Structure 1
Amino acid sequence: MLEGLRRLRVVLEPGHAETADLSFDLTFDGVVPATEETPQRLRRLERVVMDTSRFVQTGRWAGTLTVDGRTRQVDPGTWLGNRDRSWGVRPVGEPEPPGRTAHEGMPGFFWIYSVMQFDDDTIVTIVQEDDHGRRLVEEAVRIRPGAEPEWLGRPEHRLVFAPGTRNVTGATLTFHRPGCEAVTVECELLVPNLLGIGTGYGLEQDWRHGMWQGELVVQALRRDVREIDPALLMFCPTDHLARFRIAGSDTVGTGLFEVAVIGPHRQYGFTGFADPHPAHDNDRATSDQ
Structure 2
Amino acid sequence: MKKTLLLFSICCISFGLMAQVALNQVDNFQGGTTENWRIGGAGNATNGPINVADAGPSGVGDNCLQYTSLGSSGVASKMVFYSQNNQWSGDFSAAGVDEINLDVNVQTNDLNLRVAMQGTNGTRICTTNAINIPANGTWSNITIPIADSDFSIVSGGGDVESVLTDVFTIRILSSSSPTWASADIISAVIQVDNILASSSLSTDEFSLANTEFTISPNPGRNKLNIKLPSSDGELKLEVYDVLGKRVFKGSITQLESSVNVTNWRSGVYLVRVSNNELVQTKRFIKQ
- The alignment's TM-score, normalised by the length of structure 1, stands at 0.25
Q: Which has the higher contact order (CA 8 A, sep 6+)?
A: 2
**Higher normalized strand content (fraction of residues):** 1
- The alignment's TM-score, normalised by the length of structure 2, stands at 0.26
